């Protein structure tokens, strides 16, 4: 893995903004990171932890995925689809979780966080050892400056998100590992299935061969353009890759759109890992 990490670091060094990532080879168990413990705004990558905390409640009977919920209060945001619906529509709790994960819908997210409580989400992350992760807000604060940095909104780091994804993957096949998350293997599989339906695929999935299964969750807010993923080889989880940026400019010094450079880099790094780990 050393040669792969060197190539990934060299490419990351070229970016005119902060780049941090975590990589774990699920076959060998080897892992590596770049600025893995550096805390940055999480943006919507935080929703993986929100999902898993909710599934704890499903497991212990507090929530029912088939419950029908009437949605009256729509949150105007930069992501999602519910904001364009007419108030008063009814969907299942499953549908709300689905929309939160696959189009990062913030009306859905607010409904979930109000029901579950950020204190429970934080307790879930603390128990898992996600020491750089803080859940302060249920929905994004768009009044913050573009490059507001950590400490003002919701924060995390590449290593923390790698720990979370690794725990979900382990829990999907091991009842004891699932129990440590407060869920069942079936609910871990459910979480990975939701993430595999992701519609926002312009970062980690973008350079992958067609047909590769990827369970991912993006996060975008100002100068933070992030993505976290479990990448499969066939139906087997092959590696975990989490990608975080900070200070991405509107325009890079050479005139390119900053968001496009960050998206392109995420895809390129993930493809480097794919080629090295599946063909090496």
Structural domains of the chain, ranges and CATH numbers in brackets: 2-279 (3.40.710.10)
pTM: 0.96
pLDDT tens track for 142-199: 888 888 889 889 999 999 999 999 999 999 999 999 999 999 999 999 999 999 999 9
Residue (of 170, 224, 160, 163) closest to 192 by Cα position: 170
Return phi, psi of residue 20, to 5°.
Answer: -130, 145
Rounded CA-CA distance 95/136 in Å is 25
Say which residues have a Cβ less than 8 Å from residue 15's Cβ, sequence separation at least 6: 245, 261, 262, 265
pLDDT band at 280 (very low <50, low <70, confident <90, very high): low
Quote the distance between the C-alpha of residue 226 and its chain's center.
8
Do 22 and 244 form a contact (C-beta atoms < 8 A)?
no
Percent of the chain with pLDDT over 70: 100
Q: Could you tell me the two tokens for 183?
A: 């869920």
As a whole number of angstroms, the distance between CA 41 and CA 22 comes to: 16
Helices (H), the chain: 2-13, 47-59, 93-102, 106-116, 118-128, 158-173, 175-180, 185-196, 258-279
Over residues 194-231, the pLDDT tens digits come to: 999 999 999 999 999 999 999 999 999 999 999 999 99
């Amino acid at each position: 893995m050393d040669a792969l990490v060197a190539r990934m670091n060299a490419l990351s060094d070229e970016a005119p903004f902060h780049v941090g990532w975590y990589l774990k080879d699920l076959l060998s168990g080897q892992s590596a990171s770049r600025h893995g413990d550096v805390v940055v705004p999480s943006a919507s990558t935080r929703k993986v932890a929100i999902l898993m905390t909710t599934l704890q409640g499903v497991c212990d009977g507090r929530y029912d995925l088939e419950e029908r919920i009437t949605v009256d209060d729509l949150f105007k945001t930069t992501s999602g689809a519910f904001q364009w619906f007419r108030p008063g529509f009814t969907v299942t709790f499953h549908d709300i979780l689905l929309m939160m994960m696959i189009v990062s819908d913030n009306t859905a997210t607010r409904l979930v966080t109000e029901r579950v409580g950020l204190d429970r989400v934080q307790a879930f992350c603390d128990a898992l050892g996600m020491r750089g992760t803080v859940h302060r807000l249920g929905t994004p604060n768009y009044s913050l400056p573009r490059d507001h940095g950590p400490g003002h909104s919701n924060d995390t780091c590449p290593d923390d998100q790698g720990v979370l994804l690794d725990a979900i993957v382990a829990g999907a096949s091991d009842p004891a590992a699932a129990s440590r998350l407060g869920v069942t293997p079936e609910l871990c599989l459910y979480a990975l299935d939701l993430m595999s339906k992701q519609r926002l695929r312009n970062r980690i999935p973008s350079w992958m061969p067609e047909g590769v299964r990827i369970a991912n969750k993006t996060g975008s807010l100002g100068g933070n353009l992030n993505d976290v993923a479990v990448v499969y080889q066939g139906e087997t989880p092959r590696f975990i890759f989490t990608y975080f940026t900070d200070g991405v400019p509107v325009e890079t010094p050479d005139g390119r759109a900053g968001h496009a450079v960050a998206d392109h880099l995420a895809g390129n790094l993930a493809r480097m890992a794919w080629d090295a780990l599946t063909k090496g």
